Amino acid sequence: MEETSRYYALLKDPARRKIIEVLGERERIGFKELKQILGLGVGTVYYHLDMLSDFIVQDKNRKYMLNENGRLLYRSMKEGTLPPTLGAKTALSSKIGKWIFLTPLFLKTEKPERILPLSIAIMVFGGLGCAMMELEPFLFFYFPFSIYKFETLMAFYLISWVSLFLFSDALIYLLYRRVGGELQLFACLGIASLPLAIFPYMIMFLSYNIAKYLLLAFQIWSLLLTSAAFTFGKGLRLDKSIIISLIILYLNVIMLFILGEFP
């Protein structure tokens, strides 16, 4: 029963069913050709391949093919042992989680050029908020009563998130050898910055001494969204994405200690 539930969870996504079908019919296929067939972004294809890692291997030419378990799964699908569609009802908790992780927005990044203006607008919105409220941003952290000018504070905010994009892209390559999907990753990180972009505007209605107690919740939310950005933008499983996010958070804290921002 547990094994059946696992298959259901994997195959309820039509893209993963399509991958099994394509590999079953063609035996071997390269990443670019598979991406064209699926019509999905680089990160999304990598994600589905990662989810199917127990059923798929790569040959010496790095082409994807089904392993023994994958061939058994393909035959089961062809014989109708497993249903072609799995229309399970979505629980309320999963609906709430979908909006906490902003899944509808992240799904639109499969065509990143369409969502990129929104992502940039979110970053600019956050930068303006920092400048107006005289908050000095340092990625996941804020420091009040900054002595820097309006333009400098806004630039600090934008540079923080652009630096996060460049660093995370390099780190993901070094750890997991994921290439491509840079535009989708950038669009995803713009969405992930939303909680911290909203926070400065809260000070307009609340004093900083009150609003700062809410900052931790916004930091955690943004950290979760950053992990989701790595999942959608680079196709990492969520457990791997969280590792990348925690490394970045740890380095963020270390740099603040070096700069003397923390006692």
- E strand or H helix at 168: helix 150-176
Domains of the chain in sequence order: 2-79 (1.10.10.10), 93-258 (no CATH)
Over the stretch 35-75, which tens digit does the pLDDT of each residue have?
Answer: 999 988 888 888 888 888 888 999 888 899 999 988 888 88
- Alpha carbons 62 and 85: distance in angstroms, whole number: 30
Does the pLDDT of residue 79 top 80, yes or no?
no
Maximum pairwise Cα distance, the chain = 70
Over the stretch 97-149, which tens digit does the pLDDT of each residue have?
Answer: 677 888 888 888 888 899 999 999 999 999 999 999 999 999 999 999 889 99
Is residue 15 classed exposed, middle or buried when 0-12, 13-18 and 19+ CB atoms within 10 A define those classes? middle
